[in-house]
Structure 1
Amino acid sequence: MILVDGQPQDTVSALDRGLLYGDGLFETIRFAGDAAPLWSRHMQRLALGCERLGLPAADPVLLWREAQAARGDMTHAVVRITLTRGVGTRGYAMPALPQVARIVAAFPMPALDAALYRDGVRLHLCETRLAEQPRLAGIKHLNRLEQVLARAEWSDPSIAEGLLCDMRGHAVSATAANLFAVIGGVPVTPALERCGVAGVLRAALLEALPRLEVRDLPLHECLAADELFLSSSVRGILPVQAVGDTVFAPGPVTRAMQAHWRGLGFPMEQA
């Protein structure tokens, strides 16, 4: 089901600023039964995004009620919440009193191949680079053209994701997941102050991983890591099997984080 401003429908105005300018935010939230284990973290990031973009703060209680209504009787679902600045006058200037458009859509949880959690996924090293914009870094704004262009770089079904770097040659993330490396036994995840999305599962892992370093991760250092894995609030923890011709194997940190994911309340998908 799709709700627009609380009503069952699937259309918005052609003059909506989310459509015209990417002026808005979204969250993609996995439900396991009646629970959404990372809900509070999604709401925290949404609140940060509203503050950054100057949008009126969203009401988490209302969003929860609408997410449950949209989900209906789906046992396992993915709910996308989209907020836009709504309809305004022509041009980039923000409306003085924005009428935020609220779109809540639920979809069945896609099938996940347990072998990928056991053996890992292959990554394409993307030519598309992430531009630096600190004011937008971290939040999940509606403009995802960099990710769209990066995802268009491969069509091989055996490649599950792409590795994105910034303009300085630092590894940042996958197209739809955060990146973690284990280097000399120490977990490392790229700093996201200049570009990239600060994932909610990434935030949970920052609290769970001892001796974690958050810093720039040059590509050559990333490709020499002992382990690589991806984190996604929908897909969980995915080991990286290869980046191009560079091969990796799932290691103890990756397996521990998969166990942590299950401990958060998500089902086990490992083979």
Structure 2
Amino acid sequence: MSTALIWVNGQPQSELLVSDRGLAYGDGLFETIRVSNGLSTLAALHWERLVQGCRRLAINLNLAELTREVDAFLASASVETGVLKVTVTRGSGGRGYNPEDCHDIRRILSIHSLPIRDPDPSICGAKLFACQLRLGQSALAGIKHLNRLEQVMARSEWSGTAYDEGLVCDFSGHVIEGTMSNLFVVAHNGELITPDLSFSGVKGVCRQFIMSIAHEMGLVVSERHLAESRLADIATELFLCNSVNGVWPVVEYNQRNWEVGPVTLELRRRVQEELNA
């Protein structure tokens, strides 16, 4: 699949002004959405998070306009499966941080191929790298803003195919997330735990979906601080998730092997059904 198809504000375009604040300051947000059978999956949750992020950044997004453009874009692309990237920036303004003269936001759409991994961690399980980078407290915690330099630095800590993903902690030693995914722990008592992201990290769409269906399954679900040093004592199962790859069971982390358990398998099945709708 070509990645040359790009729309900006509803029109085919291949260039972006160097004055755009998304480029200059990371002043914007993005969503990465799996496309199946020509349709955006988990779309309502993606749009909800995007609207919340725009509200936090005081970017005046017209969601109805954006979703009309997305529908037209996907129809034009004639893509059955792939990855839709939706980027919203504050637009262009003068040099400097003050955004008060920026009024015309930019909505950027692009389509990409689904990532292919061999072997597939969703089937074989993921091996995790213990990242040294630490995430600090952020006023932007939770939202998917454009400044992903911490994730870039964390992902740069390993190369090759020995690891599928890296796990990142905060300065207090609490597990926060993967470089591109959220973490869940199945505790010995059956409780499903995911890290508290009140101060750092991204509240993923797939994470939110899993918490919802886990409640429907009758699982006790909690968000709380998880000390990295206590993972081996707390967890019987570990898994990662994001809205493109679905659920990856964790089979190896920090010199410890993990079994792929029944809770992970059931949640993986339900997420995959949703992503392949």
TM category (shorter chain) comes to over 0.9
Q: For the structure 1 residues 105 and 115, does the alpha-carbon distance in structure 2 shift closer, same or farther, using more than 3 Å as the test?
A: closer
Matching residue within 195, 206, 219 for 2:211? 206
Aligned to 1:155: 159
Aligned to 1:215: 224
Normalization by structure 2: what TM-score?
Answer: 0.91
1:166 matches 2:170: yes
Would the aligned equivalents of 1:67 and 1:106 in 2 still touch at CA under 8 Å? no
Following superposition, the deviation at residue 173 of structure 1 comes to 0.5
Following superposition, the deviation at residue 246 of structure 1 comes to 1.5
Separation of aligned partners in 2, 1:256 and 1:150: 30
Would the aligned equivalents of 2:133 and 2:154 in 1 still touch at CA under 8 Å? yes
Structure 1, residues 108-142: CA drift from partner, whole Å, max 9, x if none? 22224464222211111000011111x31110000
Aligned to 1:53: 57
Q: SS of the counterpart of 1:122?
A: strand
Aligned to 1:227: 237
Residues matched between the structures, number: 266
Following superposition, the deviation at residue 29 of structure 1 comes to 0.4
Separation of aligned partners in 1, 2:209 and 2:103: 33
Aligned to 1:127: 132
Aligned to 2:103: 98
Q: SS of the counterpart of 1:149?
A: helix
Query: In the alignment, residue 239 of structure 1 is paired with which amino acid?
Result: P
**Consecutive unaligned residues in structure 1, runs of 5 or more:** none
Would the aligned equivalents of 2:87 and 2:109 in 1 still touch at CA under 8 Å? yes
Aligned to 1:83: 88
Query: In the alignment, residue 236 of structure 1 is paired with which amino acid?
Result: G
Following superposition, the deviation at residue 247 of structure 1 comes to 1.2
Would the aligned equivalents of 2:126 and 2:252 in 1 still touch at CA under 8 Å? yes
Aligned to 1:110: 115
Would the aligned equivalents of 1:125 and 1:243 in 2 still touch at CA under 8 Å? yes
Following superposition, the deviation at residue 62 of structure 1 comes to 3.1
Q: SS of the counterpart of 1:90?
A: coil
Matching residue within 250, 259, 262 for 1:240? 250
Following superposition, the deviation at residue 72 of structure 1 comes to 1.3
Separation of aligned partners in 2, 1:12 and 1:119: 40
Aligned to 1:12: 16
Following superposition, the deviation at residue 191 of structure 1 comes to 0.8
Following superposition, the deviation at residue 97 of structure 1 comes to 4.4
Would the aligned equivalents of 1:24 and 1:141 in 2 still touch at CA under 8 Å? yes
Structure 1, residues 183-204: CA drift from partner, whole Å, max 9, x if none? 1122110011100000011111
1:261 matches 2:271: yes
Q: SS of the counterpart of 2:24?
A: helix
Q: SS of the counterpart of 2:164?
A: strand
Structure 1, residues 195-249: CA drift from partner, whole Å, max 9, x if none? 0000011111111212011101110222332111001100000001111311112
Following superposition, the deviation at residue 182 of structure 1 comes to 1.0
Separation of aligned partners in 2, 1:81 and 1:239: 28
Q: For the structure 1 residues 80 and 115, does the alpha-carbon distance in structure 2 shift closer, same or farther, using more than 3 Å as the test?
A: closer
**Consecutive unaligned residues in structure 2, runs of 5 or more:** none
Separation of aligned partners in 2, 1:157 and 1:60: 42
Would the aligned equivalents of 1:119 and 1:250 in 2 still touch at CA under 8 Å? no
Aligned to 2:180: 176
Percent pairwise identity: 38
Q: SS of the counterpart of 1:206?
A: helix
Normalization by structure 1: what TM-score?
Answer: 0.93
Separation of aligned partners in 2, 1:250 and 1:68: 41
Query: In the alignment, residue 127 of structure 1 is paired with which amino acid?
Result: Q
Would the aligned equivalents of 1:67 and 1:79 in 2 still touch at CA under 8 Å? no
Query: In the alignment, residue 194 of structure 2 is paired with which amino acid?
Result: T
- Which one is further off, 146-155 or 216-225? 216-225
- Which one is further off, 32-41 or 68-77? 68-77
Query: In the alignment, residue 230 of structure 2 is paired with which amino acid?
Result: E
